Amino acid sequence: MKKSIITVSREFGSGGRIIGKMVADRLGIAYYDKEIIAKVAEKTGFAKEFIEKNGEYSPSKSIFAYAVVSRDRAGSSMNDYIYSVQRKIILDIAEKESCVIVGRCADDILSGDDKSLHVFIYADDEAKIKKIMDTHQVSEKEAVKLMKATDKKRSINYNYYTDKQWGRAHNYDLCLNSSELGYEACADIIVNLIKA
Amino acid sequence: MKKSIITVSREFGSGGRIIGKMVADRLGIAYYDKEIIAKVAEKTGFAKEFIEKNGEYSPSKSIFAYAVVSRDRAGSSMNDYIYSVQRKIILDIAEKESCVIVGRCADDILSGDDKSLHVFIYADDEAKIKKIMDTHQVSEKEAVKLMKATDKKRSINYNYYTDKQWGRAHNYDLCLNSSELGYEACADIIVNLIKA
């Protein structure tokens, strides 16, 4: 297996970004997360904040709204435009260099790419809540709310654009529970697979 | 992490049993697969063939039937009895010795057990079909049919007894795509985690 691109899909609070960064640093390759937002903003002319809100958390409507609003109807077109620009940027990055790409349905966008390793990082709720409380300096109640809302948006976005089910093992080459295995062990597994 | 029990859930044709056996051999610990069937048969007095059919593939009714037949109605009771005996045997084994246990909802039965590592092995359809054709000496058409039927039964059984969704990453500590990673790499990852 010769893999040089690692896509990291992750639950909110699972430490997926930290693990992705650890892997990039250890392998000495590029790391793309917020960097993609800047590229999409530059390409589309939209503000970074707008892209951040719409690039990974769109469609931001409720599941019910999605059942009645089809993709080609007005109102979804803006999200679809941002998604298509983001998709092209991810394909260009993967073509150009070895790297870690976090989120943004990169696993699906690069699913036919032989040199990509697709990883899903998740964790037990208790660990995620603690992490969110520490990182965002919020109460337990707020952390639970934030966790549920963020992952709900991510899953709606993922399911909508990929026609797959977020969190299903089959979408990825490997799935790691970071609270059971630890961040270091997760990074070790990924780095060892790439080096093998 | 100090783990000494490894539960291996697996898709039909994914090589999960082979990987489980490799791990047990490398770690020098016991391996339980068909051995559990013999123990359940001995305990219940039923024939091994009957246990094999009902121990992991029950309830063998259609999904529709399950929507209308509740667990405590006559007809399910035999499956539930076998399941409860099997469950007790798995708990006893885990209490007694370090081992690998394949299938039989062991991940759920031992989900509260700190010394258990829960692994899900899956693979791309193409690889599974080839494996089934080789192992069972059947045509491609028959292999596809066997793969779908076996995994459908396993998933109905799993979803029914665990109230979880089979193949969802969250049920396990790690999930490995054996056709993308290779059997050896899968065994390496598990052995390294146990030895760590």
* A23-73 per-position pLDDT tens digit: 999 999 999 988 888 888 888 888 888 777 776 665 544 444 444 444 444
pLDDT given for residue B144 in this prediction? 96
What ipTM is given for this predicted complex?
0.84
Average pLDDT over residues B30-50: 83
Which residue of A180, A190, A194 to mutate against B (max B Cβ within 10 Å)? A180
Please give the share of chain B, as a percent, with pLDDT higher than 70. Answer: 87
Q: Could you tell me if B175 and A169 are in contact, meaning their C-beta atoms sit under 8 angstroms apart?
A: yes
| Residue A146 pLDDT exceeds 70 | yes
| Residue B67 pLDDT exceeds 50 | no
Distance in angstroms (rounded) separating the CA atoms of residues A192 and A179: 20
Closest C-alpha among B123, B172, B170 to residue B3:
B172
| Residue B55 pLDDT exceeds 70 | no
Tokens matching residue B121: 């092995």
Closest C-alpha among A53, A54, A49, A101 to residue A82:
A54
Backbone angles phi, psi at A114, to 5 degrees: -65, -25
Closest C-alpha among B107, B14, A182 to residue A190:
A182
Does B110 or B72 have the greater pLDDT score? B110
Q: Could you tell me if A29 and A100 are in contact, meaning their C-beta atoms sit under 8 angstroms apart?
A: yes
pLDDT given for residue A59 in this prediction? 58
Q: Which pairing describes strands A174-177 and A5-10: parallel, antiparallel, or unpaired?
A: unpaired
- What one-character DSSP code corresponds to residue A168? B
pLDDT tens for each residue of A74-115: 456 777 888 888 888 899 899 888 999 998 889 999 998 888
Instruction: Nearest by CB to B120, from A169, A185, A192: name it.
Output: A169
CB of B169 less than 8 A from some CB of A:
yes
Instruction: Quote the minimal CA–CA distance from A13 to chain B in Å.
Output: 14
Residue with tokens 């993609």: A36
CB of B196 less than 8 A from some CB of A:
yes
| Residue A4 pLDDT exceeds 60 | yes
Instruction: Quote the minimal CA–CA distance from A177 to chain B in Å.
Output: 5
Band of pLDDT at residue A127, cut at 50, 70 and 90: very high
| A180/B1 Cβ within 8 A | yes
pLDDT given for residue A55 in this prediction? 64
Handedness of CA B127, B129, B133, B135 (dihedral sign): positive
Distance in angstroms (rounded) separating the CA atoms of residues A48 and A51: 5
pLDDT given for residue B70 in this prediction? 43
| Residue B60 pLDDT exceeds 60 | no
List, in order, residues 6 or more apart from B119 with CB less than 8 Å away.
Answer: B6, B7, B8, B9, B172, B173, B174, B175, B176, B190
| Residue B130 pLDDT exceeds 60 | yes
| A169/B175 Cβ within 8 A | yes
Average pLDDT across chain A, whole number: 86
Query: Which A residues in the span 19-38 are in contact with B, Cβ-Cβ below 8 Å?
Result: none
Instruction: Nearest by CB to B173, from A168, A177, A196: name it.
Output: A177
Query: Half-sphere exposure of B46 toward its Cβ, with a 13 Å CA cutoff?
Result: 20
List, in order, residues 6 or more apart from A90 with CB less than 8 Å away.
Answer: A36, A101, A104, A106, A109, A110
Tokens matching residue A2: 């010769």
